[in-house]
Amino acid sequence: MTLRLDSDLLRTFLAVAESGNFTRAAETVGRTQSAISMQIKRLEEVVGEVLFERGARGVTLTQRGGDLVENARRIVMLLDETASSMRSAPLGGPVRIGLPEEYGQPVLSRALGAFAKRHAQVEVTVRFGYSVSQLAALAAGELDLAVVFEWQAPSGVEVLMHDPTVWVTSNHHDLHQERPLPVAIYTREGWCRELALRSLDQRGIDYRFAYTSDTTNGLTLAVTAGLAVAPIARSNIPADCRELAAAEGFGPIDTTRVVLHRNPRAVSEAVDAMADAIRDAFHQRR
């Protein structure tokens, strides 16, 4: 027998699941508590399963309720995206983005995927590079949006996420126990190299340069291959690798923020939409 799931029931279900309380869910969706209770009862009748366990302090998901949550979120998100695309006229024109290399695959691919579904006619240009060069390009009018690392005093622009740099090692090697410590480091001079080496000096860790690279992908390769430990943004620690903690004599290198700068002269709906897509992609990343 085919289940016919009503999207309105799914929205109410998600409101209850996320709030853990019928009263707060009623406030969220703008209905009465009794209406919320009736909708949840109706949804449970449709699926033939109890979705919430009721208690004195609220409700919690049953196992079947937990199974439904992720699918319900996808369904509601797809419906919202479809409604938005139908309401909005397709945008056109150029959008120029500057982005750190390490966020290309995990963040930009998600942002572009969501953006292209709605605005296939927009011409997108992406420049990967270091924060200093991206800000210079933004000031010169060569970029519309720039995602950069901010490690000094806050500039007041939008913070997309906090992503500190940490020392990373392979799970399959014990290089962090060697002295001098084999490190992979950026070839170029800059704040990341300076702060990384300073963190070792402050902890009294003797080190040697085992590998240098001009890119984050190069540092990641050195770690996964078991050549060295390396400074990598926490959100980009590769598979089969881990952060070296304070208990091991290491700890965070900095307290970097990832921020979004916008060219004040870049005034267009296409740039607005791309900024929203980047913001959403980083939100999902967190």
What is 78-100 written as a DSSP string? HHHHHHHHHHSPPPEEEEEEEE-
Q: What is the mean pLDDT of each run of 10 residues along the chain (286 residues)?
A: 80 89 83 90 91 85 90 85 64 86 86 80 90 94 95 84 94 92 92 92 96 93 96 91 94 91 91 90 74
Residue 200's pLDDT is 96
Per the DSSP assignment, residues forming a β-bridge with 46 are none
Residue 199's pLDDT is 95
CA 278 to chain CA mean position, Å: 9
Residue 1's pLDDT is 54
Q: Do 160 and 260 meet the contact criterion of CB atoms below 8 Å apart?
A: yes
- Whole-angstrom Cα Rg for the chain: 24
Q: Do 143 and 134 meet the contact criterion of CB atoms below 8 Å apart?
A: yes
Name which of 227, 279, 268 is nearest 91 in CA terms. Answer: 268
Residue 286's pLDDT is 57
Q: What is the pTM of this model?
A: 0.65
CA 18 to chain CA mean position, Å: 20
Residue 285's pLDDT is 65
Residue 76's pLDDT is 85
